[in-house]
Chains A and B, each alone.
Chain A
Amino acid sequence: MSRKKTAEEYQKTFAFRFFRWLSGEKDPYIGKVEMQPQKEYQPDQEAALRHEKEHDAIMDKVYDTEHNKWLYRFHRLYQATSILFCLFLIALLLVTISYLPPNGTVTRPVNNEVAERYIEKGLEETGAVNIVAGMILDYRAFDTLGESHVLFVATITVLILLRLNKTEKDEAEVSDRRFEPKNDAILQLVATFLVPVIIIFGIYIILNGHLGPGGGFSGGAVIGAGLVLYLNAFGFKKTERFFTEKTYKWVCFFSLSFYCLAKSYSFYTGANKLHSVIPKGTPGAILSSGLILPLNIAVGLVVACTIYAFYAMFRKGGF
């Protein structure tokens, strides 16, 4: 059972003081610390002017690039030193190269058991006729995943650096309309013929990545070039019907996460010696070599989107 305190008694307790201090009703320093009202700041104009003049005089003398003798001498010395340094570097590298084992011989230390293993077992283990594709998308798939992420992160960074706010965006659209070619008849006619061919060629390179020279990176770059040509000929209005920032976001998200999950599965089954359900197929057929074809498609999509996004951002600051 608690006893009720009177108001006077309560005011003496610690709790009362604490809650008053907490709610800010009482400043514990008032009446206890000596205080003075703050003086208003009055700039000393003469001193400020004098200081500015001195500063300007020094700056003019130091940064008078045309009449500053020491700066001129320093530039000359810098140029001479850098040319000498580069000649020295060329000589050093050439001497080193002259001691390397001769080019084109089998006995070079680069041609070690790693490369032999890739060539001998590559076809059997990955199912890819193109040994380089089998290497970068199967044995070293983790490396390639990192590369696709480098591209993705580079696009994001460029987007952060070049992003425009609402009013700037309108201005950019106006200046884009003014400075870039629009309704250029020759360009449009040529683009009508070339763009489908270029894009089909890019798809061919991606789909044949495991059968011949090519793969996701080169095919994606070709498709990106086709999209850039289309954008140049027909303008942003046409491309924005099928490619916006949202498209970029979702395509990259799905490609990268598909790559991640598919390779996680194959690494998991491989490391634990489990049976993988992904068929290898007959080498040389288009639907063969397990995960390499889908991974090539994923990488190709990321690269194509990245190339187009770089161009659109450099031209207008967004897409």
Chain B
Amino acid sequence: MGQNLFANYGEAVSAILFCIGFTNLLLQTNLIKKIIGLNIMDSAIYLFLAEKGYIAGRVAPIVVDNVTSTKAYINPIPSGLVLTGIVVSVSVTALMLSLTIRLYTRYHTLDLDEISTQLKREGK
């Protein structure tokens, strides 16, 4: 065990959040709750990236008074990567929700076990 667990508390919280989302994916049978679990995992990733870019005592990378020294601003790259993550997560969530709507109109249930039982009863 290293010494930096308490210094890295933000990352620790993001790891725990990630695992909570993953447990949701494994244990919930309701499709909507599974999607919520995946969104919790996404949020954990954003938190992790934001923590990566942070440097203590520095400000957001918006140039004030033409100061362009690297000592003044935090790392801008993780902020850009969070943006990519958010866009992809929005698209994936919309896609999964629309698939859920299709499944519901076909099987009239959101329970994944129920759906697979119905499928096997039909002999597919």
Interface residues of A (CB under 8 A from B): 55, 59, 63, 65, 79, 82-83, 85-87, 89-90, 93-95, 97-106, 108, 110-111, 114-116, 118-124, 129-132, 135-136, 140, 143, 147, 150-151, 153-155, 157-158, 161-162, 212-213, 217, 283, 310, 313-314
The reply to whether A93 and B95 contact each other, CB–CB distance below 8 Å, is: no
Is B36 interfacial (CB-CB < 8 Å)?
no
Taken residue by residue from 91 to 121, chain B's Cβ proximity to chain A (1 for < 8 Å, 0 otherwise) reads as 1101101110110000000000100010011
Tell me if B73 is interfacial: C-beta within 8 Å of chain A.
Answer: yes
- 21 A-B pairs (CB sep. < 8 Å): A65-B117, A85-B26, A90-B19, A93-B15, A94-B16, A97-B5, A97-B8, A100-B11, A103-B8, A105-B56, A106-B55, A110-B75, A110-B78, A118-B61, A119-B73, A122-B63, A122-B76, A131-B76, A132-B79, A140-B80, A283-B63
- Known A-B contacts A110-B52, A161-B99; A98 and B8 likewise in contact (beta carbons under 8 Å): yes
Pick the residue among B15, B55, B76, B84 that contacts A105 (CB under 8 A).
B55
Binding site for A on B (CB under 8 A): 1-5, 7-12, 15-16, 18-20, 22-23, 26-27, 51-57, 60-63, 66, 68-70, 72-73, 75-80, 83-84, 86-88, 90-92, 94-95, 97-99, 101-102, 113, 117, 120-121, 123
Nearest B residue (CB) for A124: B68
Check A120–B66 contact: CB distance below 8 A.
no
B18 and A93 form a contact (CB under 8 A): yes
**In the assembled complex, which residues on chain B have CB atoms less than 8 Å from the CB atom of A110?**
52-53, 75, 77-78
Inter-chain contact total with CB atoms closer than 8 Å: 174
Query: A210: nearest residue on chain B (CB-CB)?
Result: B62
Q: A100-B11, A151-B90 are in contact. List 13 more A-B contacts (CB 8 A).
A: A55-B123, A63-B120, A79-B27, A86-B22, A103-B10, A110-B75, A119-B61, A147-B88, A154-B95, A162-B98, A162-B102, A217-B87, A313-B98
Q: Are B4 and A99 in contact (CB under 8 A)?
A: yes
Chain B contact residues: over half helix, strand or loop, or mixed?
helix
Q: How many angstroms between the C-alpha atoms of A79 and B70 in the bound complex?
A: 50
In the complex the two chains form, is A119's CB within 8 Å of B91's CB? no
